[in-house]
Amino acid sequence: MEFNVDNLEYINIEDALGRIGGNMDLYKRLLGRFLDGNYLEPLNNALNTGDSEEAARLAHTLKGVCANLSLVRLRSLSTDLEQIIKNNQDYLPLLEELKRAYDSTAEKIAEITG
């Protein structure tokens, strides 16, 4: 199976497959579950209500899930977002970038699972 090299900015398939014994069918299922997971809405809600502790926890959870699935760009951005929230800094620009990266990653996942 051949994949678009442009995906590497968003998804490191080889790394992920190494973590799960090379089982591409399993990886596709896990990617589908990720998209069904609705990670951004609760994070947005926590930030909008000023619950920085919950927002940092949700960013940390997103970081872990993305690391396990080798969703490179989202892992990096969620790591940064977690730190910005914990440091009580302006998170809005990074949150917008995270949302754009999520959409791009979802498109890449569709290419892989399609």
Q: What six digits make up the tokens of 47?
A: 């930030």
CA distance 94 to 112: 26
Helix 52-69 to helix 40-48 angle (10° resolution) is 160
Residue 104 has pLDDT above 70, yes or no: yes
* Helix (H) / strand (E) containing 6: none
Model pTM? 0.89
pLDDT band per the 50, 70, 90 thresholds, residue 76: very high
Q: Express each pLDDT in 41-53 by its tens digit.
A: 999 999 999 999 9
Q: Residue 7's pLDDT is what?
A: 61
Any idea what the Cα angle at residue 39 is, between residues 19 and 76, rounded to 5°?
55
Q: In sequence order, which residues have a C-beta less than 8 Å from that of residue 102 and are 6 or more positions away?
A: 39, 40, 74
Q: What dihedral angle (degrees, nearest 10) is formed by the CA atoms of 69, 75, 76, 80?
A: -160
- The pLDDT value recorded for residue 38 is 86
Residue 1 has pLDDT above 80, yes or no: no
Contact 112, 28 (CB under 8 A): yes
Q: With the CA atoms of 44, 100, 77 and 93 taken in that order, what torsion angle do they form, in degrees rounded to the nearest 10?
A: -70
CATH of segment(s) 5-113: 1.20.120.160
